Amino acid sequence: MEVDVPATEAWKLYGTVDLKKVTVPKYLAELKIVEGSYFKEKFTKVDDEKLVKETEVIERGHLDYGFTLYRIRFECIPKTKNSCITRTTIEHEIKEEDLDNIGKASILPSINIMKDVADYLIKHKAAV
């Protein structure tokens, strides 16, 4: 997703826990718990030079569906001096007996995060 702010400015959100401060409140307001579920994740890579962050689910969430690895990567890629491209990827491994759950690996939540962050960055461009 292209964003009209420098990659280093976008990274100030993507590379820190501040990312959740921008995205989580919106989803908590819309959240309706149908079934008790949560997950824990940890940062496995934060590269301030390459502007890459990776997190892995370490408890519950996708692991409850047979995934043995569920890693989400965000990257801020400079396009021009004043714009960047944000990219997200998911890397996963799943037990063979749980292949029916492969559809639970979705990039859609990450895309929604990128849209929210892009909106936030544009709206607060002068303040960033």
Q: Check residue 39 and give its pLDDT.
A: 86
Residue 92 lies in a domain: yes
CATH number of the domain within which 53 lies? 3.30.530.20
Beta partners for 90?
72
Angstrom distance (rounded) from CA 75 to CA 18: 15
Instruction: Give domain status of residue 40, yes or no.
Output: yes
10, 3 Cβ separation under 8 angstroms: yes
**Structural domain includes residue 66:** yes
Domain count, the chain: 1
Indicate the average pLDDT of the chain: 88
pLDDT tens per residue across span 31-69: 455 555 678 999 999 999 999 999 999 999 999 999 999
- What was the pLDDT predicted at 49? 97
Residue 118 lies in a domain: yes
Which residue has better confidence, 103 or 37? 103
Q: Is residue 107 part of a domain?
A: yes
Angle at 55 between CA 106 and CA 94, to 5 degrees: 50
The whole domain housing 83 covers 2-123
User: Would you state the structure tokens that stand for residue 35, as one six-digit string?
Assistant: 């079934």
Does the residue 38 lie in any domain? yes
Is 128 contained in some domain?
no
- Judge whether 115 lies within some domain: yes
> What pTM was estimated for this model as a whole?
0.82
**Tokens linked to 3:** 């964003």
The string of pLDDT tens digits covering residues 68-84 is: 999 999 999 999 999 99
